[in-house]
Every structure is written in C-alpha cells, then in structure tokens.
C-alpha cells in the first residue's frame, strides 16, 4: 500500500531531511577504464579508522559525484577502488575534482579545486620515488648489510630534508604538512617523533601552529601529544611557533628559549610590547667587533623608546661567547646546537649574521641584511 502525505507535511519532511543532512563537501570527476567497479569515498579518522561515507558503481563514462559532511577542521579522506586509492584533504564545503585511469589511479591522478590535495599528490609521488630507491638498495647483494643500511638512512635523511624545506617550511598549519609528517614506508613513519630531535622540532612547529588555527581540533591535540612525548624522549630544546603563519610572509614569530650568560632561560616572547631586533650571529665572525659597536649605538639611541635586542649566538665555544657578551646591555643568549639547530631552517636563514625586526604586537615585519637599512626600519616601528 502506498502512503499518502499531505503537501504541507511532505514539505516539512523534506525540509527536515535537508536540515539533518547539513553542509557537505563534494568530490567529483571521472575514473576511466573502471566500468562496473565500486568507487568509495572514505574518511580516514583519527580514532575510528576508515569510515565509509559514500559510494557509486561506475559506468562506462566513469563519471562520479560523491559527498561527505563538512568537517570542522582539516580532515583526511580517500577515493578507493580495490587497492587503488587517491588521498585527499578537506576542510570546508569545497568541491574537489579528480581525474584518473583505474590502472594508474594511485599515482597517475590529477586533482583540481584544492591546493592541499595537489600537494598531497606531489608528496605521494615523491614518497613512491623514495620507496623505489630504498628497495633497489635493499635488494643490492653486492653491498654488505651495514652498507645497505647506511645508504638507506642517507636516502631517507635526504628525503626528509627536501620535504621539510620544500613542502612544510612556512606552511606549518596546512593539512598537507600534517600529511607529510605522517608518511610511512613499510609500516614505519618516515619522520621519527620518538627519538629524532630534528623531527621532534618540526612536529612541535606544526603542533603550535595548529594550536593557533585549530585550537579545539583533535588532530591538534594529537600533534601536541606527539611533540611533548618526543621532547621528553630526546630532551632537546624545541622551538615554538606562537603566531598564525598566514600573517607573515616568512614563517611567523617563532618563540624560543635559550640560556643567557648567567644561565637564566630567556624567552623571545617575554619581550612582547617592545620593538625587537632578533639577531642571529657568531662573535667569531670577521668584522663582528665593528658590528657589535654599530648595534650598541642603535641600542643606546633607541632603547629608552622601546627597542630591545635579542641576540642568538651560534658560536661553538661557550666560554668565548660568554667572555665577549659579558658587557653587552641587551639580551644575549647562546644556542648550544649552533648551525645544526632547525631554527635556522625554519627562519630560512641564508647567512649569518641576519636580523629580523619584530613589532610591539609580536609580528615579524621583516628581514634585514644591512645596518644602514636597519635604523630607518626601527624608527618606523617605534
């Protein structure tokens, strides 16, 4: 028996259904050479594993249009046919378009409508290339086991450096950066948040940047927990991003804590409210004495108006640094890791010495290379 609904009741039912459905995102496109196969849209959740959201049986055209509920923060999804997958990231009601041929679906797809999704595509290709090189070394019986392990470690280390600098640096709050830090080879994470101090630093950078942009996101808490445990394991000084990276072109303000000449930890963030000259230097450099005299002149001239200098020395000899910094009036701190510290990469330092100017609101406003330009820029901020 057919049920009859009065027009008004039918209208209310339809409205109720739409309201319950809520805002959705769309993944559409075409998968050719896949007639009569099932295409699934799946959510790669943080705690519940893989959750199926939508599916379609493809016809001879391969056209599809799938939907999922709008996430409140960046989340990760995949299109799947059998073992062939396309990894995606969604953070709104956006529409992402994917085109592929089934035989080459995992590595040969194209994606439009999302910069994050396209970066994830490039990361997948780069990881596949690494895996092929690793397997060639692993299968090379002309090498001893120790030689194979050494070469594989070198390949992975080089890969991590490239990914950090090309895909993550200055993009710490992006979903693609999160994805990059959790890439895996043969069931093991490429980036080691357990015992690699360098990787712990980068996990910490992401955790702090996500905490600013997505403070209540479970993935933010996940990053924070990983970084905290990694820091406990390595007991290496970590840096913290305390500013939305979208607000500055370089990398945002990075909060750091180093010991001064008395052994007291001094944080960069303690100087908020003043105009800060952040100076990376080494007293062992040529012309360091003349440069120090020029900085002292600037400090004496503008300190009473609100200028402070936070000077990070990367000198190898701590005693040498203490001796030369003893009589300087500004904040002098020492980085015991020297040029190996990842803070140099995150600030994208190309040379030592380098200055950065920070305004009273803790906004990184520029990088300076010439002292002649520096005074003019300081005057603008005071």
Give the confidence band of 21 by pLDDT, cuts at 50, 70, 90: low
Q: What angle do CA 187, 192, 193 make, to 5 degrees?
A: 120
**pLDDT value at residue 242:** 37
- Per-residue pLDDT tens over the stretch 73-83: 999 999 999 99
pLDDT mean across residues, the chain: 84
- Separation between Cα atoms, residue 174 and residue 98, nearest integer Å: 20
Q: Tokens in use for 39?
A: 């295409």
97 CB-contact burial (10 Å; exposed 0-12 / middle 13-18 / buried 19+): middle
pLDDT at 300: 93
Q: d(Cα 281, Cα 119) in Å, to the nearest integer?
A: 35
Q: Determine the Cα–Cα distance for residues 207 and 191; give it in Å rounded to an integer.
A: 15
pLDDT higher than 70, residue 355: yes
Backbone angles phi, psi at 125, to 5 degrees: -65, -40
Helix and strand numbers (H, E) in the chain are 11, 19
Long-range contacts, stretch 200-203, CB < 8 angstroms, 24+ apart = 200/227, 200/230, 200/231, 200/233, 200/234, 200/236, 200/238, 201/236, 201/238, 201/239, 201/342, 201/343, 201/346, 202/164, 202/168, 202/342, 203/227, 203/230
Comparing C-alpha atoms, which of 368, 369, 367 is closest to residue 253? 367
What architecture (CATH level 2) is domain 254-381?
3-Layer(aba) Sandwich (3.40)
- Give the whole-angstrom CA distance, residue 180 versus residue 212: 20
Say how many C-beta atoms besides its own lie within 10 A of residue 177's C-beta. Answer: 25
Write out the DSSP string of 228-277: HHHHHHH-----EE-S-GGG-SS---EE-EEEBTTS-EEEGGGGTTSEEE
Q: Which residue has the tokens 């470690």?
A: 153
Beta bridge partner(s), residue 185: 188
Could you report the per-residue pLDDT of 39-65, keeping only the tens digit for each?
Answer: 999 999 988 889 999 999 999 999 999
Q: Quick one: pLDDT band at residue 372, thresholds 50, 70, 90?
A: low
Report residue 341 as tokens.
Answer: 């510290």
How far apart are alpha carbons 338 and 258 in whole angstroms? 12
Is it the case that residue 350 has pLDDT exceeding 90?
no
Angle (CA) 227 230 232, round 5°: 110
Chain mean position to CA 218? 16
pLDDT in tens, 82-128: 999 999 999 988 899 999 999 999 999 999 999 999 999 999 999 99
Q: Which two tokens stand for residue 322?
A: 């203490």
Instruction: Place 182 in a pLDDT band, splitting at 50, 70 and 90.
Output: very high
Asked whether residue 280 carries a pLDDT value surpassing 70, the answer given is yes
Q: How far, in Å, CA of 240 to CA of 231, rounded?
A: 12
3-class SS shares of the chain: helix, strand, coil, % to 5: 45, 25, 30
Between β-strands 75-81 and 38-44, what pairing exists: parallel, antiparallel or unpaired? antiparallel
Q: How far is CA 46 from the centre of its chain?
A: 18
C-beta neighbour count of 23 within 10 angstroms? 8
Burial class for 248, CB neighbours closer than 10 Å (0-12, 13-18, 19+): middle
Question: 95-101 and 110-112 as β-strands: parallel, antiparallel, unpaired?
Answer: antiparallel
Residue 365 has pLDDT above 60, yes or no: yes
Right CATH for 19-113 from 3.90.1300.10, 3.40.50.2300, 2.60.40.180, 2.60.40.1180: 2.60.40.180
Q: What angle do CA 12, 15, 20 make, to 5 degrees?
A: 125
């Amino acid at each position: 028996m057919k049920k009859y609904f009065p027009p008004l009741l039918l209208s209310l039912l339809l409205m109720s259904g739409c309201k319950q459905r809520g805002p959705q995102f769309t993944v559409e496109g075409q998968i050719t050479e896949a007639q009569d196969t099932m295409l699934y849209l799946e959510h790669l959740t943080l705690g519940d594993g893989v959750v199926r959201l939508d599916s379609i049986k493809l016809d001879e055209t391969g056209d599809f249009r799938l939907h999922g509920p709008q996430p409140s923060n960046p989340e990760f999804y995949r299109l799947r046919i059998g073992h062939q997958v396309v990894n995606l990231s969604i953070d709104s009601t956006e529409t992402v378009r994917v085109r592929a041929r089934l035989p080459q679906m995992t590595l040969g797809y194209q994606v439009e409508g999302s910069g994050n999704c396209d970066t994830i595509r490039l990361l997948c290709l780069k990881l596949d290339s690494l895996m092929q090189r690793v397997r060639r070394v692993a299968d090379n019986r002309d090498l001893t086991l120790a030689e194979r392990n050494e070469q594989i470690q070198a390949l992975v280390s080089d890969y991590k450096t490239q990914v950090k600098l090309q895909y993550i640096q200055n993009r710490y709050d992006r979903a693609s950066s999160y994805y990059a830090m959790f890439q895996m080879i043969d069931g093991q994470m490429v980036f080691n948040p357990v015992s690699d101090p360098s990787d712990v630093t980068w996990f910490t950078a992401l955790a702090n940047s996500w905490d600013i942009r997505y403070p209540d996101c479970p993935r933010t808490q996940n990053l924070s927990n990983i970084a905290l445990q990694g820091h406990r394991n390595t007991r290496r000084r970590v840096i913290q991003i305390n500013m939305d990276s979208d607000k500055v072109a370089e990398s945002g303000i990075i909060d750091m804590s180093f010991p001064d000449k008395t052994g007291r930890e001094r944080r960069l963030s303690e100087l908020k409210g003043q105009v800060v000259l952040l100076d990376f230097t080494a007293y062992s450099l040529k012309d360091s004495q003349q440069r120090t005299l020029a900085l002292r002149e600037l400090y004496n001239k503008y300190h009473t108006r609100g200028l402070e200098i936070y000077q990070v020395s990367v000198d190898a000899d701590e005693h040498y640094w203490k001796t030369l910094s003893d009589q300087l009036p500004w904040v002098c701190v020492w980085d015991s890791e020297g040029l190996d510290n990842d803070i140099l990469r995150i600030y994208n330092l190309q040379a030592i010495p380098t200055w950065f100017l920070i305004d009273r609101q803790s906004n990184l406003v520029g990088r300076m290379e010439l002292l002649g330009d520096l005074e003019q820029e300081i005057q603008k901020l005071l």
